[in-house]
Amino acid sequence: MLNISGINEGFVLDHIQAGMSLRIYHDLKLDELDCTVAIIKNAKSNKMGKKDIIKVECPIESLDLDILGFIDHNITVNVIKGDKIVEKKELHLPKQVKNVIKCKNPRCITSIEQELDQIFILADPAKEVYRCKYCEEKYINPARRK
């Protein structure tokens, strides 16, 4: 059994789909934070069989819930203060995401216009479909849970 110590202040991202933790680590820019991060891969889970967990010791406001909701809104976010879970935050699909994914349409203006933000807007919440704000290219989250 692998033991990782608890954290005093920060957050624990639980119920991450197995294999997704490194993408989340990258997209949340945790590599840019000067703090302790523990990534647990393929932990046993009654609910999911296997799951990933990320523990981060840092102020909770450093976490971009929109990006996390975009990647997978089924992740459980436990807020830790004084070694205890003080809050469980619910994630939602954000109405739009900025500069998280890049439009793949070679005909899109985002492919040539300098310093134009890559903005995707939630088009169909039920199917978790986003569309590029400019060319309406479709994006379906590959991590979407069926």
Partner 1 sequence: MRHLMSPLDLSVEEVSDLLDLANDIEKHPDKYAHACEGKKLATCFYEPSTRTRLSFEAAMLNLGGSVLGFHSADSSSATKGESVSDTIRVISCYADICAMRHPKEGAPLVASEKSLIPVINAGDGGHQHPTQTLADLLTIRSLKGRLDNLTIGLCGDLKFGRTVHSLINALIRYNNVKFVLISPEELRIPDYIREDVLRANNIEFEEVERLEDAMPQLDVLYMTRVQKERFFNEEDYIRLKDFYILTKAKMDLAKKDMLVLHPLPRVNEISVEVDDDPRAVYFKQAQYAVYVRMALILTLLGIKVD
Q: At residue 57, what is the residue type? A: E
Q: How far is the CB of 138 from partner 1 (least distance, A)?
A: 6
**Chain length of the chain:** 146
Q: Which of 98, 105, 112, 114 is nearest to 137 (CA)?
A: 105
Distance CA 127, CA 62 (A): 29
Q: How far is the CB of 97 from partner 1 (least distance, A)?
A: 16
Residues at the contact surface with partner 1, assessed by CB under 8 A? 105, 107-116, 123-124, 129, 132-136, 138
Q: How far is the CB of 74 from partner 1 (least distance, A)?
A: 24
Cβ-based nearer residue to partner 1, 22 or 109: 109
Distance CA 40, CA 60 (A): 19
Cβ-based nearer residue to partner 1, 85 or 109: 109
Place of tokens 């379906």: 140
Neighbours of 118 (CB within 10 A): 16
DSSP class of residue 70 equals H
Cα 43 vs. chain centroid, distance in angstroms?
Answer: 18
Cβ-based nearer residue to partner 1, 35 or 140: 140
Cβ-based nearer residue to partner 1, 122 or 123: 123
Q: How far is the CB of 23 from partner 1 (least distance, A)?
A: 26
Distance CA 104, CA 102 (A): 6
Cβ-based nearer residue to partner 1, 76 or 141: 141
